Structure 1
Amino acid sequence: MCHNTAPDRRTVTALLAAGLGLTVLTACTPEDSKGTGAAGGSGTASPTAAGGPAVSSSPAVSSSPTATARQPAAAPGKGALPPSASLAKQHSLTDPRSPWVVVNKHRPLTPLQFAPPDLVQPAVQLATSGESALLNSTTAAAAGKLFAAAAAVGVTLTLASGYRSFQTQTATYNGYVNTRGRASADTASARPGFSEHQTGWAFDIGDGGGACSFQPCFAEQPAAVWVKANAFTYGFVVRYPWMLHETTGYYYEPWHLRYIGPEAAGDMAKRGITTLEEYFGLEAAPGYR
């Protein structure tokens, strides 16, 4: 999730050139002019760690992610890695009611103003209220299990931002357009109908201590470390991995979780695939077309 305190593009470029990277950036502004790096499913931007997670129940803080970039996802038929045969074509990639729907800067929701019919408030610790405290019923049930498992090993997760309606995203995006212009707005907020949060399948987490909310340093908090290693067991992936913004269109968001089901999430972890674009053999979506 981006904030108005994000550095300008010149500052970002200078920091990256100096090798300071993620630890000093707000992760809300892309380093190129293609609109890369905005608010992903969260509707605001930031930089997930590459590589398949290894199961761990330790809340200990890990070291910062490396800055080794991976190649963007290949287009279908050109070396992309589709799901394992047993999972292929199990769910739709376009129906917003499907846990496998892929929403990115090339793939808006259909219909654009989709609203989940089964929104509920999950039985988890909340750090928000109103519509943002809601998820679709499947995601809410899985989130309950995820949060309980984390709590069992001493890691406290909070739900910081869940569902976001088309109307809410419109207001947020238009606010950026009015103050910064459309080109700049596209680097700070997802366009209405292009946010994962609108599906009810995604949500942002916070750490029980409240540290580093929606900031790059969140990657080193116990909550982020634990979900990176264990979320796949409960059907979740960290949707926007570290240094894969040229594939996903968004910088690293260690707080943004997306439900795709335990089978697919486990398959991705086993095979070391970290983006839905690569997993489903879809083209990279670094910017709006």
Structure 2
Amino acid sequence: MCHDCSPGAAVPPAEAPSRRSFTRFLAAGAGLIVLAACTPEAPAAVAPSSASPTSSTGSAPAPAPESTTAAPPTEVAAPAAPSPAPSPSAALPRQFSLTDPASPWLVVNKHRPLVPADYVPADLVPPAVAMTASGEAALLNSTTAAAAEAMFAAAGRDGVAMVLASGYRSYGTQVGTYNNYVAARGQADADTASARPGYSEHQTGWAFDIVDGGGACSFQPCFADQPAAVWAKANGHRFGFVVRYPWMFHPVTGYYYEPWHLRYIGVEAATDMVARGIFTLEEYFGVEAAPGYP
């Protein structure tokens, strides 16, 4: 550690050479060396990766002879704009419309109304399953009905009693359903529990609500713990169904958790969603979240 880094006294210019003057000269030189040791040394510049290494003797190798042919200037391409990431569903071999109400991949939400608003499926049929629904609510489109029959039968073999409580809902019926919610809760709260007319999955025939055979917790949050809900969440994808409004995803779907509301999208897509750990159709099909109406 340096306690005194000042240089020694200068040698008198006119003094004749002597042992004493030589000693003073050495002392002055030693002082300069000490001063250098106390001064931080600037870091050496880092040679670019393309530079040739020096030889073991410390001298740089002789430069390579210049080429007689001038190399063309290197053209730096502008960075390409990032392309939007494809939705996970784009990896599936079969693709369906996201806007056609007759498509199993239809995405209808608060930003995506049905077109036409009063759409009616052409192939409504009553599925051969246990149900409490009656009238139009006992109907589904033919594809969903066949898948529901297979799913309800499989649940029954596992000792789970699954019951269809509400299927198709026409535009006119949805008007009455929505208005009842508004009258009871106010419009802001109604919009979190019931779709406005022309925005309901029930109108497409692709969705339905279930209850448990034991009758407990129907259309309440505690239904999530009932056998029918637990079984449907774990096995529904095997038959093409997903829980459309999952827990804690209302900022995406616009609706609070509905473990009773099942939506058909096909076995391939439903299985792929589960495998990828994706919970909403908005994310899976690459459309924007719809927390509220525009």
Gaps of 5+ in 1: 1-76
Deviation at 1:180, TM superposition (A): 4.9
- Are the counterparts in 2 of residues 163 and 198 from structure 1 also a CA contact under 8 Å? yes
CA 1:127 to 1:85, structure 2 compared with 1: closer, same or farther past 3 Å?
same
Distance 1:191 1:222 in 2: 30
- Are the counterparts in 1 of residues 193 and 255 from structure 2 also a CA contact under 8 Å? no
- Are the counterparts in 2 of residues 82 and 279 from structure 1 also a CA contact under 8 Å? yes
Q: Structure 2 matches for 1:71-110, cutoff 5 A?
A: 81-87=87-93, 90-110=95-115
Which of these residues, 203, 211, 226, is aligned with residue 206 of structure 1? 211
CA 1:169 to 1:254, structure 2 compared with 1: closer, same or farther past 3 Å?
same
Aligned pair 1:123/2:128, yes or no? yes
Deviation at 1:184, TM superposition (A): 4.0
Deviation at 1:178, TM superposition (A): 4.5
Q: Structure 2 matches for 1:191-202, cutoff 5 A?
A: 191-202=196-207
Deviation at 1:233, TM superposition (A): 0.4
Residues 141-170 of structure 1: CA distance to partner in whole angstroms, max 9, x if unpaired?
000000000001101100011000000001
Deviation at 1:190, TM superposition (A): 1.3
Q: Secondary structure at the match of 1:148?
A: helix
- Are the counterparts in 1 of residues 192 and 254 from structure 2 also a CA contact under 8 Å? no
CA 1:185 to 1:215, structure 2 compared with 1: closer, same or farther past 3 Å?
closer
- Are the counterparts in 1 of residues 155 and 162 from structure 2 also a CA contact under 8 Å? yes
Aligned pair 1:217/2:222, yes or no? yes
CA 1:151 to 1:112, structure 2 compared with 1: closer, same or farther past 3 Å?
same
Q: Structure 2 matches for 1:42-57, cutoff 5 A?
A: none
Which of these residues, 108, 121, 145, is aligned with residue 150 of structure 2? 145
Aligned pair 1:264/2:273, yes or no? no
CA 1:180 to 1:225, structure 2 compared with 1: closer, same or farther past 3 Å?
closer
Deviation at 1:84, TM superposition (A): 4.6
Deviation at 1:106, TM superposition (A): 0.5
Aligned pair 1:250/2:255, yes or no? yes
Distance 2:179 2:85 in 1: 38
Q: Structure 2 matches for 1:148-163, cutoff 5 A?
A: 148-163=153-168
Deviation at 1:181, TM superposition (A): 4.4
Q: Which amino acid aligns with 1:192?
A: P
Distance 1:242 1:175 in 2: 25
Distance 2:173 2:146 in 1: 24
Q: Secondary structure at the match of 2:163?
A: strand
CA RMSD across the alignment? 1.5
Deviation at 1:172, TM superposition (A): 1.7
- Are the counterparts in 2 of residues 80 and 279 from structure 1 also a CA contact under 8 Å? no
Residues 150-209 of structure 1: CA distance to partner in whole angstroms, max 9, x if unpaired?
001101100011000000001122233445543343234210001100000000011011
Deviation at 1:79, TM superposition (A): 5.6
Deviation at 1:279, TM superposition (A): 0.2
Q: Secondary structure at the match of 1:213?
A: coil
Question: Which residue pairs with 2:39 in the alignment?
Answer: none
Question: Which residue pairs with 2:243 in the alignment?
Answer: 238
Deviation at 1:258, TM superposition (A): 0.3
Distance 2:198 2:98 in 1: 15
Larger Rg: 2
Structure 1 runs, 4 residues or longer, greater than 2 Å off: 77-82, 174-189
**How many corresponding residue pairs?**
212
- Are the counterparts in 2 of residues 87 and 264 from structure 1 also a CA contact under 8 Å? no
Q: Secondary structure at the match of 2:100?
A: coil
Residues 208-262 of structure 1: CA distance to partner in whole angstroms, max 9, x if unpaired?
1111100011000011111111000000001111100000111111111000000
Question: Which residue pairs with 2:288 in the alignment?
Answer: 283
Which of these residues, 143, 167, 171, is aligned with residue 172 of structure 2? 167
Instruction: With the length of structure 2 as denominator, give the TM-score of the two structures.
Output: 0.69
CA 1:211 to 1:110, structure 2 compared with 1: closer, same or farther past 3 Å?
same
Q: Which amino acid aligns with 1:273?
A: I
